[in-house]
Amino acid sequence: MAPAKKIRALVVDDHAVVRMGLVGLLHSEADLQCVGEADDGHAALEQFRKLRPDVTLMDLRMPVMGGVEATRAILAEDPAARVIVLTTYDGDEEIFRALEAGARAYLLKNMLGQDLVTAVRTVHGGGHHIPPAIAVRLAERLQRSQISAREIEVLNLIAKGLSNKRIGDALSVTEGTVKTHVINILGKLGADDRTQAVTIAIRRGLIRLE
């Protein structure tokens, strides 16, 4: 009797120690194996093209190309590809973008190893794996008023300490228009002031401090 075919996984993470741990976990299961590794999104796309893994474990924030962009690129080439996002970030915007890009699971790196193993098997079988805490964050995001692309630009400039006038100059709009954007941002984020708005935006994954 021929042995059962193993689930072939590609591990993508820019931290070598994390990759080593994931590879070890996969190889500890009789039905799983790691067939390749990549340390950024661009390398992940190249490895996917070469290896055609059954499941790709994708980190979210990486140099060269991030996990969301890499997931979108992989699925554009192969709509049947199965991607699991594995990250330390639980901001609702991060979750939304990853799932919108086509990821079938969103897991945090502080989970138990068995949770990852279960997710790999579930996703390989055609299912989705969204832990309850992640589902709650996603539901909260969908219930909130969506922040526009222009408001994200304003938030990024607020985070850099720019005044309304300087933001207006940078975006080629009037100071009054910026004030309107700030009022809308505070309302949508439930923030009392600009500093709190930036704090909430960072926590939710709307903006990043470089």
CB-CB contact of 139 with 172 (8 Å): no
Confidence (pLDDT) at 71: 95
What CATH fold (topology level) applies to the domain 7-142? Rossmann fold (3.40.50)
- Per the model's pLDDT, the better-predicted residue between 91 and 44 turns out to be 44
**Residues whose CB falls within 8 Å of the CB of residue 55, separated by 6 or more in sequence, listed in order:** 7, 8, 9, 10, 82, 83, 84, 120, 123, 124
Q: What is the pLDDT of residues 5-58, one digit of tens each?
A: 899 999 999 999 999 999 999 999 999 999 999 999 999 999 999 999 999 999
DSSP state for residue 82 in the 8-state scheme = -
- Residue 62 to residue 70: CA distance in whole angstroms: 10
CB-CB contact of 165 with 175 (8 Å): yes
Domain ranges of the chain: 7-142, 149-204
CA 63 to chain centre: 13
Confidence (pLDDT) at 143: 59
DSSP state for residue 53 in the 8-state scheme = -
pLDDT at 120 over 80: yes
pLDDT band at 167 (very low <50, low <70, confident <90, very high): very high
pTM of the model: 0.70
DSSP state for residue 60 in the 8-state scheme = S
Confidence (pLDDT) at 189: 83
What CATH fold (topology level) applies to the domain 149-204? Arc Repressor Mutant, subunit A (1.10.10)
Confidence (pLDDT) at 142: 66
Confidence (pLDDT) at 48: 97
Confidence (pLDDT) at 172: 93
Confidence (pLDDT) at 162: 93
